[in-house]
Amino acid sequence: MNFETARANMVDNQIRTTDVTSHSVLTAFLSVPREAFVPEKSKALAYVDIDVEICPAEAGKPARFLMQPSPLAKLLQLAEIGKDDAVLEIGCGTGYVSALLSLLAGSVVAVEEDEELAAAAKANLADYPNVSVVTGPLALGSAAGVPYDLIFVSGAVEEVPQALLSQLRDGGRLVTVQGYGGSARAKVFVGERGAVSENVFFNASVKPLPGFAKAREFVF
């Protein structure tokens, strides 16, 4: 399989066709070898427009996925990442989104709570010197680079915890997909003077990250 050709086809047929016009985002997708961030058995699926499983469900842990290219590209464009931005990525998995972010931003702190995935990410990102991988609970983020210009959540969440929002600089933004399935929406949360505003942009069905479900209320 010619991965370089497949990568170009992904950009032309899956990403450009979903109104992604940002030159920097398109260039990042053309530059990062997606096949290097998926298991060996799944390399043939690396450029298919699907969520690719990177870690199976086991021992009570949910399966983890590499996000489908088209919604990922739309979210990265929505983030409006600047070359000097300090970025916190939540749920880096094997590091693919971290690599894309590294080409768009000044620095990236990538958080992963699964130790095996974190180890894989560190190995995969050896050639991306402006990325550091941190192991810890996703919902707590990381104090390593606080405050952040951007927090990018690499998966769907049911709610956005205050612990993450508090790590934004004044005027910083958090980009995520909130909700599950067809009712999910791409949102940007902006922190300013201690308050947070949110804006809804488009529907996006992506796989959820663990640890972001709302606490269930007891009903009598």
* Cα distance between residue 90 and residue 110, in whole Å: 6
Annotate 43-97 with DSSP letters as a single string.
GGGTTSSSPEEEE--BTTBPPEEEPPHHHHHHHHHHHT--TT-EEEEE--TTSHH
Tell me the average pLDDT across 96-113.
98
* Cα distance between residue 2 and residue 118, in whole Å: 28
**pLDDT exceeds cutoff 60 at 184:** yes
Question: What range does the domain containing 58 cover?
Answer: 3-203
- Is 138 within a domain? yes
Name residue 186's amino acid: A
- Is 174 within a domain? yes
Q: How many CB atoms lie within 10 A of CB 13?
A: 13
**Ranges 23-37, 88-102, 204-218: which has the least confidence:** 204-218
- Is 212 within a domain? no
Name the domain count of the chain: 1
- Is 42 within a domain? yes
At residue 172, the pLDDT reads 96
CATH label of the domain that carries residue 198: 3.40.50.150
- Is 215 within a domain? no
Pairing of strands 195-203, 148-157: unpaired
pLDDT per residue as tens digits for the range 155-177? 999 999 999 999 999 999 999 99
User: 128 is written with which tokens?
Assistant: 């991306």
CB 15 within 8 A of CB 47: no
Does the reported pTM lie above 0.85? yes
Name residue 198's amino acid: E
- Is 214 within a domain? no
* Cα distance between residue 176 and residue 189, in whole Å: 8
- Is 37 within a domain? yes
- Is 59 within a domain? yes
